[in-house]
Amino acid sequence: MRILDGYAVREFTRTAFIALFAFVTVFITLDIVEYVDDFIDNNVATTTIVKFYAFQIPHIFVLSLPVAILISALLTVGRMARHNELTAMKASGIRLSRAVLPLIAAGAVAGFVSLTVGEVVVPRTDTEVERIKTNEIKKSPGSRPRIQRNISYRGKNGLFYFAPEYDTRRQVMKEVVIEKWENYLVFRVNAKKAAWRDSAWVLTDAWVRWFDEDGDVEREVFIAEDTFDGIRDYPREISRVQKDPEEMSYWELRSLIARIEESGADATRYRVGLHMKIAFPFTNVIVVLLGVPLSARLRRGGMAVGVGLGLGLCFIYYGFIRVGQALGDHSVLSPICAAWIGNVFFAVTGVILLLRAEKH
């Protein structure tokens, strides 16, 4: 079995690398076509273009890996079926599930690599890609959207700011929550609006609550419209471009969720993103379970059928994941259910197909 396992893994790995290289090449080529006008109009240096796409490779790698793994499983097992190698294994008493066990193990390794790259590399490279796009390609350093969503900023002296909406031009935050921490929550400000006027933040319809070390409210004050001592962070600091959940590491996102929920705000969207960071790498294992029983019956069509079937399945799989994510963002499903529903559905489907394939 060691010889057969080694043979299957070599074929699987070789095909996966070829598919992955093809996807990265196609993505970069299409992106160059989209940005070619910006490159020419802004006289972007070749070295800048190379950096721009080199930093995108980790992100493309994580997104494309499950597709490459599925196509590799389809082509590898399909080739073994066409050459009657699976029939020979079955005649020798080797079950299909045992024959493809090394492919499942290889998918698990790919999932671990995807998780590691997504956590350690992608957040940093995505930040650099955005910097290059803004400063060196579009030539607009410091530009940011007028309306920023889900502001989350740790300020000076233990202050933390959260606001669902921030108008950077008018310098107004809506439904803002401001907290001060010194080993415990010292005070919390819940204001309908905070506007920057005369070098100070003016709060409107605000409640200020002070807490003791046990978390109990000591006193509270209502501010109709006035400043509040201790809030001195400048608008330009608070309005720094915020990261999306996809651009944060697991631990960054987890820390942000804790601060948002401590402030009493809704962190559902971020919780869905947190669970997705663990759920998505598992697709590299599940697509093998899904692809093996289907490809075991592919005795005709060759590579074209395998690639087409793989792309079609991944399109359905990714669509299922996005629907679950959208339902989670709108609180129709719990965050953990929204992130894992696609994986559970296709894992069960793959196991059923594998059990049926062994009976034939």
Could you tell me if 135 and 151 lie in one domain? no
Over residues 20-35, the mean pLDDT reads: 90
Could you tell me if 59 and 131 lie in one domain? yes
Over residues 45-72, the mean pLDDT reads: 90
Instruction: Please give the pLDDT value at position 262.
Output: 63
- % of the chain beyond a pLDDT of 90: 19
pLDDT at 56 over 90: yes
The reply to whether 350 falls in a domain is: yes
Domain count, the chain: 2
Instruction: Please give the pLDDT value at position 223.
Output: 92
Among the ranges given (20-34, 187-201, 285-299, 335-349), the one the predictor scored with the smallest mean pLDDT: 285-299
Could you tell me if 8 and 133 lie in one domain? yes
Rounded to an integer, what distance in angstroms lies between the CA atom of residue 233 and that of residue 213? Answer: 25
Residue 59, Cβ density class (10 Å: 0-12 exposed, 13-18 middle, ≥19 buried) = buried
The reply to whether 245 falls in a domain is: no
The reply to whether 260 falls in a domain is: no
Could you tell me if 81 and 167 lie in one domain? no
Rounded to an integer, what distance in angstroms lies between the CA atom of residue 306 and that of residue 300? Answer: 10
Could you tell me if 131 and 159 lie in one domain? no
pLDDT at 110 over 60: yes
Could you tell me if 189 and 134 lie in one domain? no
Q: What is the mean pLDDT of the chain?
A: 82
**What is the per-residue pLDDT across 153-208, written as a single tens digit (0 to 9) for each?**
777 777 888 888 888 888 899 888 888 888 788 889 999 999 998 888 999 999 99
Could you tell me if 19 and 75 lie in one domain? yes
Rounded to an integer, what distance in angstroms lies between the CA atom of residue 319 and that of residue 325? Answer: 10
Rounded to an integer, what distance in angstroms lies between the CA atom of residue 139 and that of residue 132? Answer: 9
pLDDT at 61 over 90: yes
The reply to whether 334 falls in a domain is: yes
Alpha carbon of residue 80 to chain centroid: 35
Could you tell me if 68 and 196 lie in one domain? no
Alpha carbon of residue 256 to chain centroid: 15
The reply to whether 263 falls in a domain is: no
Going by the DSSP 8-state scheme, the letter that residue 314 receives in this structure is: H
Could you tell me if 10 and 130 lie in one domain? yes
Of the residues 240, 263, 284, the one at which a domain ends:
240
The reply to whether 295 falls in a domain is: yes
Given a contact cutoff of 8 angstroms between Cβ atoms, the answer to whether 338 and 275 are in contact is yes
Given a contact cutoff of 8 angstroms between Cβ atoms, the answer to whether 358 and 340 are in contact is no
pLDDT at 106 over 80: yes
Q: Which of 217, 237, 59, 213 is nearest to 144 (CA)?
A: 237
Rounded to an integer, what distance in angstroms lies between the CA atom of residue 67 and that of residue 171? Answer: 44
Could you tell me if 206 and 166 lie in one domain? yes
Over residues 64-92, the mean pLDDT reads: 78
Question: What are the residue ranges of helices labelled H in the chain?
Answer: 2-41, 46-54, 57-82, 85-91, 96-99, 101-116, 122-131, 235-238, 250-262, 268-279, 283-295, 302-329, 335-359
**What is the per-residue pLDDT across 260-306, written as a single tens digit (0 to 9) for each?**
676 566 778 888 888 998 898 999 998 888 888 777 666 555 556 65
Instruction: Please give the pLDDT value at position 117.
Output: 92
Given a contact cutoff of 8 angstroms between Cβ atoms, the answer to whether 145 and 229 are in contact is no
Rounded to an integer, what distance in angstroms lies between the CA atom of residue 230 and that of residue 179? Answer: 11
Strand order in the sheet with 147-154: 147-154, 159-167, 172-181, 185-197, 200-211, 217-227
Alpha carbon of residue 13 to chain centroid: 25
> Which structural domain range is residue 346 located in?
2-139+272-359
The reply to whether 258 falls in a domain is: no
Given a contact cutoff of 8 angstroms between Cβ atoms, the answer to whether 191 and 179 are in contact is no
Residue 155, H or E segment? none
**What is the per-residue pLDDT across 111-151, written as a single tens digit (0 to 9) for each?**
999 999 988 888 888 888 888 887 788 765 444 557 777 77
**Tokens describing residue 128:** 């650099």
Could you tell me if 152 and 110 lie in one domain? no
The reply to whether 340 falls in a domain is: yes
Could you tell me if 151 and 225 lie in one domain? yes
Q: Is 204 left (phi over 0), alpha (psi -120 to 50) or beta?
A: beta
